[in-house]
Chains A and B, each alone.
Chain A
Amino acid sequence: MAVMKKKGSKELPPISTASLPDVIFMILFFFMVTTTMREQELLVTTKLPNATQVQKLEKKSLVSHIYIGEPVKHMQDKYGKATQIQLNDAFKTPQDIGNFIAAERAAVEEADRAYMTTSIKADKGTTMGIITDVKQNLRRAEALKISYAALEPAK
Chain B
Amino acid sequence: MAGNKRKIQEINAGSMADIAFLLLIFFLVATTMSNDKGIMRQLPPMPPEDMELEDNKVKQRNLMLVFVNDRGEVMAQDGRDQGRGQNFNIWNPAESQRLTEKVKEFVLNPSNSEALPEMKEIELDLPDNKGKIKYLESSGVVSLQTTRNTNYDTYIAVQDALTRAFNDVRNQASISIFNGREMKDLNDEEKAVITKAVKIKISEAEPRQKNKK
Contact = CB atoms under 8 A, between A and B. Distances in A.
Interface in B35-74: 35-46
Contacts of B163: 51, 53
Contacts of A36: 31-32, 34
B24 A24 contact: yes
Interface in A47-71: 49-57, 60, 63
Given A35-B31, A53-B163, A56-B37, A25 B20 contact: yes
Most B Cβ at <10 Å: residue of A53, A126, A152 = A53
B13 A18 contact: yes
A110 to B, nearest CB: 20
A28 B156 contact: no
A31 B27 CA distance: 7
Contacts of B160: 50-53, 150
A45 to B, nearest CB: 14
Nearest to B27: A31
* Secondary structure call for the A interface: mixed
A129 interface: yes
A131 B152 contact: yes
Contacts of A56: 36-37
B16 interface: yes
Contacts of B207: 128-129, 132
B195 to A, nearest CB: 12
Size category of the A interface is 35 or more
A68 to B, nearest CB: 8
How many chain B residues sit at the interface, stated as a range, is: 35 or more
Interface stretch (A6-14, A74-82, A84-92, A134-142): A134-142
A17 B18 CA distance: 12
Interface string A102-127: 00000000000000010110111111
A21 B207 CA distance: 59
A43 B107 CA distance: 42
16 contacts: A21-B20, A28-B27, A31-B27, A35-B32, A37-B30, A37-B31, A49-B153, A60-B34, A125-B153, A126-B151, A126-B152, A138-B43, A144-B43, A144-B45, A148-B159, A152-B37
B94 interface: no
A150 B40 contact: no
B122 interface: no
A4 interface: no
Q: Which 6 residue pairs of A and B lie closest in terms of their CB atoms, listed nearest first?
A: A129-B148, A147-B38, A35-B31, A24-B20, A21-B16, A53-B163
A149 B19 CA distance: 37
Nearest to A52: B160
Nearest to A51: B160
A131 to B, nearest CB: 6
A124 B159 contact: no
B69 to A, nearest CB: 11
Contacts of B153: 49, 124-125
Contacts of A128: 146-152, 155, 207
Nearest to B163: A53
